[in-house]
Structures are given as C-alpha cells and as structure tokens.
Chain A
C-alpha cells in the first residue's frame, strides 16, 4: 500500500473519488448553511459573522489585484474562485484526522487529485483573465513579452501539484509508518502537528494561484518611460537615507 501505488489510481483509487465527493458535499452544505437565512448589510450576527470571516481574506486578495479593472466585477469573480480552492483543499487535507482506517486517506495524498487541482487552477486562471482582458488578452499573456511564459504555465502545474502531493502524502505516509511501529500515543502528536501543513498548504496553493492570476490580469498601462539612473532609481528621487 505504501511503496508502489502512491502515484496512480488503482485498486485503492476509489478512496480519492469518494473522499473528494464527500469533501465537496460538505463544502456545498456548509456554504448553503452559512448563506441561508436573513443576511444583513448592517452589523452581522451568528452565521453571517463566521461566513464573512471565512471569505474576508479572499476579498482582500481580490481587491489587491483589481487595479485598472472594475473592482466589483473582480471581487465577485475572484473571491469564489480562490475561496473554493482553499476550503476544498483544506477539507481534503483534514481527512487524515478521521479515526476510520481505510477512509482516512486524504484525497490530496494522491498525485492524480493534486494534478487535477493544479490543472483546474492554471486553466481556470486563463478563463478568469479572459473575463477581464478578453480571450485575446488572456492568450497574449502566454506569449508576450516573453514567449517562455507558456512553458512557465506547465511548470506551474507541476510545482503546484507536486508541492501539495508531497506535503500531504508525505505526512500521511509518516503517520502510517509510525502508527505501524507505535500504535498508541505518538500518532496523536503527529496528527496534531499535521494540522499545520494541512492548513498552510491549502493557503499556499491559494496564494500562489492568486499571484499567478494577479500577474495574468494585470492591467498594462502605457506610461512614458521615466528616465532612470543606475539601479533603477529615478533621477528625481532623493537618495534613500538608511
């Protein structure tokens, strides 16, 4: 179970599909539960506080990349996109906390699942940027100003998927190996420590997707070139006092 088949979906492969479906069902149910009822634009209370706390970070990230575009449109498009990635990956990572032996394998410890997520992120970035710059502008970003940027997209897929897979799969393997040697006590500590990468890797995946997206939808303004001295410092600027 541990050595050969970590990469590819085979006989144990239904775990990844079922667990991912369960995670998405939990996510949809949670979203429905939080958005249900009376929502107010005044002082929120109850569930609305939690929901706004959960998506506030992504609204902030979306606002940061909205310069030069319609801010409401950017926030309305980018916030659900990033938030879905974060909460789905977080829920998938938390599957290792379940006390049931076969079911507790996180879907993100399969390379196929993380590869699918990374493909969704990179291709989705193309579609989201096509919404703001048009299809031509989105495709132009792949080849202009540097034609190697299209190669960069492929390496983005590889780095995003391998990072998530290595962290979560490695943590899962560590827990399983240690639990085979010492079944009581020590795995609890490892599970508690495993909470940190499960949160951080979901955050890192989302932040990297956000930074790729920010560079994709960046609004290019034609500016007059400022005359610069050496080291990129403007002639008119005073020398920085340290």
Chain B
C-alpha cells in the first residue's frame, strides 16, 4: 500500500512538470517562429536565444524528473 502511495507521489510531479513545460515551450517556439518569419535576417540569433530559453524552461521539468527518480528509487515492493 505504501508503495502505491509513493508511486503516486512520484508520478504526479512529473506529469505536472511535463504539461507546464510543454505549454511554456510551445509559447517560446511560437513567438520565436513569428519573429523569424518576420525578420529572417536575425533568425540565427533568435534560434540561439530560443534554445537557451527552452533549456532554462526544460531545466524546471528536469528537476521534477530528478525528484521523481529519487522517490522511485525508494519504492520497495
């Protein structure tokens, strides 16, 4: 029973983190694409900045993944 609770505790943050990061990354990519199509001459700089921004957002999702891994490592069935 305890294992089931811990599995739920491990699963909920990664789901929430993935959904939130996906929404924010969609916003980042859409705005970057709009900028690139409006001004194709600065597309490389925009692409680099987009990658850095996406990495920063993705790091938050990765933190939840790490927390999930820590909790999942403690589950004893």
Which residues from chain A sit less than 8 Å from chain B, CB to CB? 3-4, 6-7, 159, 162-163, 165-167, 170, 200-201, 203-204, 207-208, 211
Contact = CB atoms under 8 A, between A and B. Distances in A.
A204 B51 CA distance: 7
B63 A207 contact: no
Q: Give the bracket for the number of chain B residues in contact with chain A.
A: 10 to 19
Nearest to A205: B55
A6 B69 contact: yes
B3 interface: no
Given A4-B73, A162-B62, A204-B52, 20 more contacts: A3-B72, A3-B73, A6-B73, A162-B59, A162-B63, A162-B66, A163-B55, A163-B58, A165-B66, A166-B62, A166-B63, A167-B62, A170-B65, A200-B51, A204-B55, A207-B51, A207-B52, A207-B55, A208-B52, A211-B52
A207 B66 contact: no
A106 B48 CA distance: 25
B contact patch SS: helix
A163 B59 contact: yes
Interface of B: 48, 51-52, 55, 58-59, 62-63, 65-66, 69, 72-73, 75
Contact of A207 (B48, B59, B62): B48
A201 B56 CA distance: 11
A190 B66 CA distance: 21
A4 B75 CA distance: 9
Nearest to B75: A3
A13 B69 CA distance: 18
A159 B72 contact: no
A111 to B, nearest CB: 9
Contacts of B72: 3
Contacts of B55: 163, 200-201, 204, 207-208
A212 B26 CA distance: 26
